Chains A and B, each alone.
Chain A
Amino acid sequence: MIAVSRLLLPLHAALIAFTVIGHFIIAAGRNSYELSSQFGHMGGIPLVIYCLFMFFTVCATFIYMLVYFYKSMYGDEGYLTFTLPADTWQILLSKALTALLWEVVDIIVSGFCIMGLFFTNEMWVSFGEFFSKIGYYFYQAFGVRLNGIPIVLAIAVFLLSLLQSILVFYLCFTIGQISNNHRVAAAVGVFFGISVILQIVTTFSIMPFFYGINYSKTYDTMMKFLTYSCITEACVCTGCWFLSLYLMKHKLNLQ
């Protein structure tokens, strides 16, 4: 955890700092015509740079988690990781939880930064109204009343999809390390293979939900879709988990 945090904490702290600076610049521009016109002349370059930095932060977080996994499991550090007096599942769980936690932190921080950049006191009031009426708007748009269960299911789908993307990569690296040569290339090849299979299976399996959809039963359809997504993602996660564990126990090939 410390190994990961030493890079990702400063990165996210920098994103928050840029957001705070950007917020005050935008607020100052709003209150001053002169400042506003100067920013206008800059053609929104700072905003583009800020967006690129945010994009970089999101990508870097995910990529760093994968690099960290590979290094600590199948690089030289694996000699220590795999000789620690811990079961293989404990090692895998610690890596997966660390990655999941940082992914969630990354998404929450990025979301708050986007909102924080343009936030004003007036919007604060509007947002308050918006959130208080979000259930009403959702009902107007989709004919579905928001209550606890769909929200919990949606959060579960979100977390499971994050975990799935992490565990699929872990499985790819674990399969790749079996190879005696070009282990990373093998992992990338396996990733493309698994991605294609998952895409095909997902596309065909969700078709029934949208074929001949009955808008009077949107709520039922949404609930079924969320439940189905939860189950399929949980199945993929479980499959990746047990296959990775099996390979780590029976096919480990540290070189």
Chain B
Amino acid sequence: MESILQCRGLTKKYGNLVALHDVSLDLPSGQIIGLLGPNGSGKTTLIKLITSLLTQNEGTISIDGFEPGAYSKKLISYLPERTYLSDWMRVSDVIAYFEDFYDDFREDRAYDMLNRLQIDSSARLRTLSKGTKEKVQLILVMSRQARFYILDEPIGGVDPAARDYIMNTILTNYDPGATILISTHLISDIESILDYVIFLQYGQITLAAGADDIRMKHGKSIDTLFREVFRC
């Protein structure tokens, strides 16, 4: 199967702390992939390396056959775990901003999602709650027709009712040929949509396999397996 991402021997250290150690990985195209692990396991570090926000100490990354750069940034639609939008902007300003920068951004899709979530597009971001800001960011990210979506904790900061909407938004707005990498530790909320699963622990990959294969091999759900593997 064609892979959208290849990592070889990735190592990232913060001073003496090893956040990722010798990670090698191939992500298959056109699948929804869960990057699962407890807090501090290296999920966000791995994602930041893929999106070029961090530089690895060792190893290589290849996205669709290319080194990270302007081309890979065109392919990737990235949702970070924090708010990266300027507070003074209006929602409509941010949509115009994305429209300017991304050829694959679909404004109609963004406004449609805003309407369904009853978010006022003329509101300034500073007037929105943290959860609503996260929804706006998710709308921006999912309004692109990207080949590779990377969502870092997309449901971490929202209430359970909104989680269903967010998962539905992700599922109904991505192109079938695209790959989605979702990082989370809330497994039960996303298990049903995952095609492929990666377990990350202490900066190393402990498991990488198809979701159905894991269920069949272990005879239990991924959520149950996660709780067993990462029990404190």
Q: Which single residue of chain A is at the shortest CB-CB distance from B71?
A: A85
Q: Check if B78 sits within 8 Å of A83, measured CB to CB.
A: yes
Q: Does B218 make an interface contact (CB < 8 A)?
A: no
Interface size, chain B (Cβ < 8 Å): 23
List, in ascending order, chain A residues with CB within 8 A of B76's CB.
83
**B47-55, B112-120, B155-163, B186-194: which one contacts chain A?**
B47-55
Q: Does A3 make an interface contact (CB < 8 A)?
A: yes
Most buried by B among A6, A83, A87, A254: A83
Interface residues of B, dominant DSSP: loop
Q: Check if A77 sits within 8 Å of B70, measured CB to CB.
A: no
Q: Check if A85 sits within 8 Å of B54, measured CB to CB.
A: no
Interface size band for A:
10 to 19
Known A76-B83, A80-B84; contact A85-B70, beta-carbon cutoff 8 A: yes
- Give the distance in Å from the alpha carbon of A253 to the alpha carbon of B19 in the complex: 13
Q: Check if A83 sits within 8 Å of B51, measured CB to CB.
A: yes
Q: Does A108 make an interface contact (CB < 8 A)?
A: no
Known A83-B73, A84-B73, A86-B70; contact A254-B84, beta-carbon cutoff 8 A: no
Can you spell out 19 A-B residue pairs with CB atoms less than 8 angstroms apart? A3-B86, A6-B88, A76-B82, A76-B84, A77-B84, A79-B80, A79-B82, A82-B52, A83-B73, A83-B78, A84-B101, A86-B70, A86-B101, A87-B69, A180-B14, A180-B15, A252-B53, A252-B54, A253-B55
Interface residues of A (CB under 8 A from B): 3, 6, 76-80, 82-87, 180, 250-254
Interface residues of B (CB under 8 A from A): 14-15, 48, 51-55, 69-70, 73-74, 76, 78, 80, 82-86, 88, 101-102
